[in-house]
């Protein structure tokens, strides 16, 4: 692939506000562990007030993936909407400072920059409450077709189905890259997100809008409304040419038209916070694809990036991902 950019992410532009909590707190606040809930500003204020000491780290699912891919050496860009405010400036700074091409105009009025209140329980699981704010205002006009046409893979998040106008932006980007011999990668994002848009997501697959699918096992089972992972795997095999299914501590399953293959996790010292695990797996996997690595090595690169992110609070890497990969025999060219 000889284009200017390897991967462009399109997603909600969100700053994460993370705190440790416990199961009792989730119960008191009626929160479902591991899920992502959409909240309004009033609820956001309440959650912040009752949550403990915070850490503020730029986030957003596709943005996390793009940052990870950049650190692994991919040439990347991002499209997503923030407001011209304090959190917005932090988000812009963080993407630009590591070399992501990011030029979506900042909203000068309207809702504040999106933020996600992430509650991390002692088991390392994260429960997310997202105030979509300015990220809702991403429209077709923000899709730079010139940028997309210079790109090998466009990576889109299922969460884009929540802001009403973003679907059109999604479809515009997908159609554009398909006319340019590029590929569309898509993540199902969250099992409740799949619940909200099951038919639409299935139609995207049937209409061949998606070339590479990312999901965890819960999301995949939700997509086909089955409790049986083997049925779900067989369904997805018939619908898409490549799928990477993550199964937490059980590793991942890589599905092609011909094969269904189990890949192991990368060992860790201690699980601290799963926020961003799927995002960083996708970062490694996609980077591997753009470097023509075989699929097992793509999964291995994904699992190394995911292993880094779950050993600290927040979904942006704290260690040098490229060095980690190189120490494990990958990306040494």
Binding residues for a copy of itself (CB under 8 A): 19-20, 48-49, 51-58, 67, 86, 90, 93-95, 97-98, 122, 269-270, 272-273, 312-314, 316, 318-320
Closest approach, Cβ 53 to a copy of itself, in A, equals: 4
Distance from C-alpha of 310 to C-alpha of 118, rounded to nearest angstrom: 14
Question: Of the two residues 90 and 247, which places its CB atom closer to a copy of itself in the complex?
Answer: 90
Closer by beta carbon to a copy of itself, 133 or else 314: 314
CB distance 127 to 41 below 8 Å: no
> Phi/psi class of residue 3: alpha, beta or left (left: φ > 0; alpha: ψ in -120 to 50)?
beta
Nearer to a copy of itself, 49 or 257 (CB): 49
| Enclosing H/E stretch for 282 | helix 277-290
Nearer to a copy of itself, 93 or 206 (CB): 93
Instruction: Between 20 and 209, name the residue whose CB sits nearer to a copy of itself.
Output: 20
Q: In what order do the strands lie in the sheet containing 76-79?
A: 101-102, 76-79, 5-10, 151-157, 183-187, 212-216, 242-246, 252-256, 260-263
| Least gap, CB of 317 to a copy of itself (angstroms) | 9
Residues forming a β-bridge with 261: 254
Give the β-pairing of 252-256 and 260-263.
antiparallel
Q: How far is residue 109 CA from its own chain's centroid?
A: 27
The Cα 174–Cα 207 span in angstroms is: 11
| Closest to a copy of itself by CB, 19 or 240 | 19
Task: Give the span between the Cα atoms of 47 and 300, in whole angstroms.
Answer: 37
Report in angstroms how near the CB of residue 209 gets to a copy of itself at its nearest: 31
> N- to C-terminal Cα distance for the chain?
17
| Closest distance to a copy of itself from the beta carbon of 73 (Å) | 16
Nearer to a copy of itself (CB atom), residue 20 or residue 43: 20
Q: Are 156 and 174 in contact (CB under 8 A)?
A: yes
Phi, psi of 36 (to 5 degrees): -120, 120
- Phi, psi at residue 244, to the nearest 5°? -120, 115
Least distance from C-beta 245 to a copy of itself, angstroms? 29
**Smallest distance, a copy of itself to C-beta of residue 17, A:** 9
152 CB-near residues (< 8 Å, 6+ apart): 1, 3, 5, 6, 7, 182, 183, 290
Positive or negative CA dihedral for 28, 34, 35, 38?
positive
Least distance in angstroms from the C-beta of 303 to a copy of itself? 18
Compare residues 85 and 140 and give the one whose CB is closer to a copy of itself: 85
Of 91 and 224, the one with the shorter C-beta distance to a copy of itself is 91
């Amino acid at each position: 692939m000889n284009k200017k950019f390897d991967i462009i992410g399109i997603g909600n532009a969100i700053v994460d506000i993370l705190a440790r909590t416990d199961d009792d707190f989730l119960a008191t606040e009626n929160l479902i562990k591991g899920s992502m809930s959409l909240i309004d500003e009033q609820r956001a204020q309440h959650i912040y007030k009752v949550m403990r000491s915070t850490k503020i780290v730029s986030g957003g699912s596709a943005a996390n993936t793009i940052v990870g891919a950049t650190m692994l050496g991919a040439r990347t860009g991002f499209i997503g909407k923030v407001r011209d405010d304090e959190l917005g400036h932090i988000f812009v700074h963080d993407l630009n400072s590591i070399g992501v091409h990011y030029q979506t105009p900042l909203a000068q009025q309207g809702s504040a920059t999106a933020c996600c209140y992430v509650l991390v329980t002692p088991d390392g699981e994260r429960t997310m409450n997202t105030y979509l704010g300015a990220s809702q205002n991403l429209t077709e006009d923000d899709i730079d077709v010139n940028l997309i046409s210079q790109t090998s893979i466009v990576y889109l998040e299922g969460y884009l189905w929540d802001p009403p106008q973003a679907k059109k932006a999604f479809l515009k980007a997908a159609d554009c890259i398909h006319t340019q011999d590029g590929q569309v990668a898509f993540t199902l994002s969250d099992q409740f997100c799949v619940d909200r848009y099951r038919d639409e997501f299935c139609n995207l697959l049937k209409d061949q809008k998606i070339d590479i699918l990312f999901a965890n096992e819960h999301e995949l089972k939700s997509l086909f409304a089955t409790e049986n992972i083997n049925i779900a795997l067989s369904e997805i095999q018939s619908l898409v040419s490549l799928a990477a299914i993550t199964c937490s501590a059980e590793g991942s399953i890589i599905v092609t038209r011909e094969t269904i293959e189990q890949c192991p996790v990368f060992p860790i010292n201690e699980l601290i916070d799963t926020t961003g695990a799927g995002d960083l797996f996708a970062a490694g996997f996609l980077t591997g694809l753009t470097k023509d690595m075989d699929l097992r090595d793509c999964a291995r690169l994904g699992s190394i990036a995911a292993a880094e992110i779950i050993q600290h609070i927040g979904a942006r890497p704290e260690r040098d991902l490229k060095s980690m990969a190189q120490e494990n025999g990958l990306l040494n060219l």
